[in-house]
Structure 1
């Protein structure tokens, strides 16, 4: 169990990342490939069907430093890669100070049969660091880049949902949207986690990173002195088309109760409003026709759950505070006017 301790200053500095982090997605997708051999995930299955020698060679090098269970080095997921900055992240990995390399890689070297190249990497040998950088770049280019539209779509839906909740209802309300794996009982966020530890933010705030490949439990950096990060499984709104049309069973919190209240289709339309979008985008997210999305949006607008604004020839929809409260569990009764 991980207990994240907040102060008032931490709540003010807590935010959701601007997008998927390419190095966190690298580590977590390597975990999936190591455990499942490609598994059922459409992104990884699509890569498995291609003949990609560069990706396979990179994967062989990365697997030993990214074991799927237990510890992996923090320097592989630097803050510089946040928001999609792959090259900045790789530069930060290659610039890791030698004492930190030695300390973090020593924990891996204690495992059975560490690879021979781990010692020169721990010593900060320039060619070993360049080799690691090339492997990270090759893996991303061959495995993740073809799937990046799916990764971005899933994480963006989740990011907009959390960010809009935070903007409208505050950080406290946003921290209550995560469901059973993350439980917010102020001033502590309790996280299902493989180790028992406490993380005191101490005024630094927390960066929440939605991840496509984080599938079991949230992940945090092992070194509590580093800027606090919590990577969590991104959720897609009900009915959203993810992973290239493969479908998704993810649901926002309370989706079944919401479906009973509004009806499945209208609930899907409301839940699809993770951020402002046009009628056609709303229809695509909810998996309905544009005319159906427009009709449901009109009902939700009359009920005060969404607002609609015409810009040129497009109508843009967004949640109202009441709509956000209903989705986050802050409303206890049906809004008036729903039929």
Structure 2
């Protein structure tokens, strides 16, 4: 178990990432690629004999074992600003950090001989690694990035609603069962026993479509980061939720409630639910009065988002 220890200052500084991080998604998708049944978006990389595909994997898979430790330098904080910024930061990793982290990795897994030049910080080796990461991202995550980003934004909206309405502790309670808030400690299901003291630095929570379970940076001296699996809903789940809500709310209002993921504007809500603009506004007002929806004006638009109660209703309703 990982125990994350908070102070009052840490709760104030705890935040949710703006969205999916391309380098974290790259590394965690490499974990999933090694599963027996990977995400369909990754299946193209499982066919042997294609040198264009196998080249990047020959370099990346030894650094990202299916289970356990992988180097923190593969997921620099700069990656949150985009894949290009992340790759630049990766190529600028200090030699001492490369050597230390690859030594830890080599103590747990056999490594190919070329890793020695990477541990020595040779610019050519770092460029080759960045090129392998970039190629894998461009061919796999890049074409699916809109879907990945959309899932992360939907999940983030859920967390922020809890934050706005109840504060950081209320938000931390939304991550169960793998992450349980027992003030002042967040208990995280983890393969090793570990304590992480935030010491006033706060915690960055990063949603991930490819994370199997929560994962944190190994080096406690780095900015505290915890990546967690997004709460995904399949088309079958959505259909079941609609069937369960329709008798309670009526078919139109149920459709409006279900269309509220990602804090849409009234215009976007009307389009998603297939109703007129005035009807969307009216139904949103009724749902807001019931405590299921909150609405905030931004410039000339009004954005609507699920409250924790509305999110809980969508999660729990079944036919």
Q: TM-score range by the shorter chain?
A: 0.7 to 0.9
Aligned to 1:18: 18
Where does 1:187-202 land on structure 2 (aligned, <5 Å)?
187-202=184-199
Match of 2:264 among 274, 277, 288: 277
Does residue 307 of structure 2 align to residue 324 of structure 1?
yes
> Of the candidates 110, 115, 121, which is equivalent to residue 112 of structure 2?
115
1:203 maps onto 2:200 in alignment: yes
Displacement of 1:176 in angstroms is 1.0
What is the aligned residue count? 307
Residues 1:222 and 2:218 are matched in the alignment: yes
In 2, Cα distance between equivalents of 1:172 and 1:217? 21
1:236-247 equivalences in 2 (<5 Å): 236=232, 247=235
Corresponding residue for residue 213 of structure 1: 210
Cα distance change, pair 46–175 in 1 and its aligned pair in 2 (3 A) = same
Equivalent position SS for 1:3? strand
Aligned pair partner of 2:176 in 176, 179, 182? 179
- CA-atom RMSD in angstroms: 3.4
The TM-score normalised by the length of structure 1 is 0.78
Aligned mates of 2:39, 2:304 — CA distance in 1: 31
Question: What is the CA deviation profile of residues 98-149 of structure 1, one whole-angstrom value per residue up to 9, with x for unaligned ones?
Answer: 1111111012222453111111111111111111011111111111101101
Larger helix share, 1 or 2: 2
Gaps of 5+ in 2: 314-319
The 1:172–1:208 alpha-carbon spacing in structure 2 relative to 1, beyond 3 Å, is same
- C-alpha distance 52-271 of structure 1, shift in aligned 2 (>3 A): farther
Give, in angstroms, the shift of residue 56 of structure 1: 3.2
SS of the residue corresponding to residue 226 of structure 1 reads coil
SS of aligned partner of 1:176: helix
Superposition map of 1:1-339 within 5 A: 1-36=1-36, 39-45=37-43, 53-82=51-80, 84-214=81-211, 216-236=212-232, 247=235, 262=248, 269-270=256-257, 272-279=259-266, 281-282=268-269, 289-290=274-275, 294=280, 296-297=283-284, 299-306=286-293, 316-319=302-305, 324-327=307-310
Tell me the TM-score normalized by structure 2. Answer: 0.83
